[in-house]
Structure 1
Amino acid sequence: MTKLVIGGAQMGPIQRADSRALVIDRMVALLERAAQAGVEMLVYPELALTTFFPRWYMTDPAEIDAFFERDMPNAATAPLFARARELRIAISFGYAELTPEGRRFNTAILTDRDGRIVGKYRKIHLPGHSEYDPERSHQHLEKRYFEPGDLGFPVWRNADVVMGMAICNDRRWPETYRCLGLQGVELIMIGYNTPSVNSQKGAEGLEKRLFHSDLSLQAGAYQNATYVVGVAKAGLEDGHPLIGGSIIVDPDGTVIARAKTEGDELIVAPCDFAACAFGKTTIFDFARHRRPEHYGRITAQVGATVEV
């Protein structure tokens, strides 16, 4: 089985005034540090090229479009792709995608070690709301600016490892991991931009926010016998705090690397993908133990129903 050194490129805040060039310089700097650490696969956060713009209610199409990428790679991101290719490091990062048809998605891409895009994922579980909500402490308007992803939960064999991607709120939904697990996934890469304050439950606190993030990532790894990398964009961004807590989790659900700051930081873990085999052939041997004849409710309905 394959062994790879996996890195998580946590990023500190990106302010609205920061140019793409400035952001790419930071991403390349993290890439250089990763190369020095022997990293072969480096994961960046959700919306790695811009501030987390869904915190603002906007109506001007031109203002909104400025946060979106029409092509990938493009002139701004070309230096990142070129350096990753030179260093022979596969990368994954998130961005706001505007398609030629005018559709908008919260997207992540995956490259091979030659800098070629080999995978694309579009965020499925969009949190928040679509119109201004005066009852919230701050807005979370992903449903306004993005469509739910239309590509499902695909996997790709990259560097001889079965890899999948998800984005932010997807990590809280067990369906995400199980759809990937049923395709034999061995590495799930998840970038996130998570506010430190719950806009509808302000007393929840940072500690609980970090606990829930860890809980989701660790459970998904254990229940599907896969490595999971969760990578944050963190810190005080345009006056709004985001959690850090980037981690790498092994197939037993154990955290094997953790960020210590809310800034640009590299976390690294050597991963032996033979470790996925035990769980996949014992307690989570799906072919032997799953009972899908009893799971129809999962896909037959959306909201919960009380029938007693």
Structure 2
Amino acid sequence: MRKIVIGAAQMGPNQKADSRETIVARMLALLEEAARKGCTLVVYPELALTTFFPRWYIEDPAEIDRWFESEMPNAATQPLFDKARELQVAISFGYAELTADGHHFNSQILTDRDGNIVAKYRKIHLPGHSEWDDERAFQHLEKRYFEPGDLGFPVWRTQDAVIGMLICNDRRWPEAYRVMGLQGVELVILGYNTPSVNSQNSAEGEEQRLYHSELSMTAAAYQNSTWVVGVAKAGDEDGHPLMGGSIIVDPNGYVVARAKTDGDELLVHECDMDLSVFGKETIFDFARHRRIEHYGLITSQTGVVRKV
């Protein structure tokens, strides 16, 4: 059996005033706890190093760039990489990436157990809007600060498993999982920062949003016969609540671990990658059952075109 003991390292809120070093210290505490519990992979949330800054409308480019990392690892995060190498635990976390040629992405990296970065993903399905919106209860300006990811939906073989990554809103789009599923993905790891209330529909509160978050991940796990690990940054960030609900889902769509708090909390589960095999060889044997001659609209058309 190919088992990975995974730690889903949910994080509580990062406040606007928190330094990178303060936040990394919390990540280190979760990493050390994970190592004590036998984990060989720890997954942290989206934008793990900062508060969720897209809730603010910022016009000064220099103020925007202060939330981004121009290299990884850097001085603030190097202790995390060093400790991961010492403990022989692979890590994955999200951050705002500023490239050498000036591009801004919402990114996630994965290391091996020696602390070497072996994979990078850039968020593709950016939610929200790009300009101030008076109709919203609060702003969600990811389209202002980030470009859509340019790396597609790759997978990597590491820790004797086929692993892919997604970020936050990506988890709601079945196409993302299916592209990885067609590459034999066995484990999808993702982080998210999701407001507890819908800014455009106040009736949709935390209970409904947790349900939809879990639904998107459990359905995708089942439909692609893959493990899915979804990790939140949660709690009250500068007066803006983020929901928790971190989960580990098996390839049959069952939740095997679920967070109980909105703070720093570690979920641990021994995940057998071979559990993905049965579904891939039976009901979701794509080679036998998919009918791509009827799927053309998925890649030829973006919005709805009504035929009747």
Range into which the TM-score falls when normalised by the shorter chain: over 0.9
Secondary structure of the residue that 2:203 maps to in structure 1?
helix
Secondary structure of the residue that 1:230 maps to in structure 2?
strand
C-alpha distance in 1 between matches for 2:88 and 2:154: 24
Root-mean-square deviation (CA), in Å? Answer: 0.5
Counterpart residue type for residue 183 of structure 2: Q
Secondary structure of the residue that 1:204 maps to in structure 2?
coil
| Equivalent residues in 2 for 1:30-109, closer than 5 Å | 30-109=30-109
Secondary structure of the residue that 1:260 maps to in structure 2?
coil
Counterpart residue type for residue 38 of structure 1: G
Counterpart residue type for residue 123 of structure 1: K
Confirm or deny that 1:150 pairs with 2:168.
Answer: no
Secondary structure of the residue that 1:121 maps to in structure 2?
strand
Q: What is aligned with 1:227?
A: 227
Counting aligned pairs with the same residue, the percent is 72
Counterpart residue type for residue 302 of structure 1: T
Q: C-alpha offsets along residues 70-111 of structure 1, whole Å, 9 cap, x if unaligned? A: 000111100000000110111100000000110000000000
Q: C-alpha offsets along residues 15-53 of structure 1, whole Å, 9 cap, x if unaligned? A: 000000000000000000000110111100000000000
Deviation at 1:147, TM superposition (A): 0.2
Q: C-alpha offsets along residues 197-223 of structure 1, whole Å, 9 cap, x if unaligned? A: 100011111100000000000001000
Gaps of 5+ in 2: none
| Equivalent residues in 2 for 1:1-308, closer than 5 Å | 1-308=1-308
Deviation at 1:62, TM superposition (A): 1.1
Q: C-alpha offsets along residues 107-166 of structure 1, whole Å, 9 cap, x if unaligned? A: 000000010000000000000000000110000000000000000001000111100000
Secondary structure of the residue that 1:29 maps to in structure 2?
helix
Gaps of 5+ in 1: none
C-alpha distance in 2 between matches for 1:7 and 1:286: 30
Counterpart residue type for residue 103 of structure 1: H
Count of aligned pairs: 308
TM-score by length of 1: 0.99
Counterpart residue type for residue 220 of structure 2: G
C-alpha distance in 1 between matches for 2:237 and 2:132: 20
Deviation at 1:2, TM superposition (A): 1.1
TM-score by length of 2: 0.99
C-alpha distance in 1 between matches for 2:273 and 2:96: 31
